[in-house]
Amino acid sequence: MRNFENKEKIVQVSGGLKIISLMGMLFWGQGIITFLIMWISGAQQPGENGPILEPNSWHFNLILVSVVEFIVWWNFWSFFSRLKSGHLFDPLTVKRLNRAGWWKIGIWIYSIILMCVENKLQRQLQTHVLSDLLDGLFVGVGIVFAAWLLREGQTMEEEQKLTV
């Protein structure tokens, strides 16, 4: 009885988290469209020292980051959709969560590389950005760890089915 109640709670909470994931997808999708329009139109970044790398290069970086963040949120949406459907320890469900974590780690690596290139070109150090970037690493590793825990739960569930 308790397992059924827990499964029902997971299904209910997953419905709300699925909506939040959809909002994240809409936010980053709107960002992709906006930055793509800005890149095509040739708008330059307003700033104290002019554009970061070259005119329009920051638009491309924002487009790339937005696309990867959209993929992360799409994986979350797929993950919560599968949970809402009752697929708790399904391999595809765990795979969606794992992919979201690895995409998040990938965008962290890209951001670190971009920050290093910008620091070299501008001959200045952006240390305040480093703390934001470490947050992205922590989130990505946490998501991958949660996926690993679910995969272990999946293995335990399969072993229990074999012993019963």
Q: What is the pLDDT of residues 3-22, one digit of tens each?
A: 667 778 888 888 889 999 99
| Size of the chain in residues | 164
Which ranges of the chain does DSSP label H, i.e. alpha helix?
Answer: 2-41, 57-84, 91-122, 127-163
Average pLDDT, the chain: 81
Torsion of CA 121, 124, 128, 132, to 10 degrees: 20
Instruction: Record the pTM.
Output: 0.77
50 versus 76: which is more confidently predicted? Answer: 76
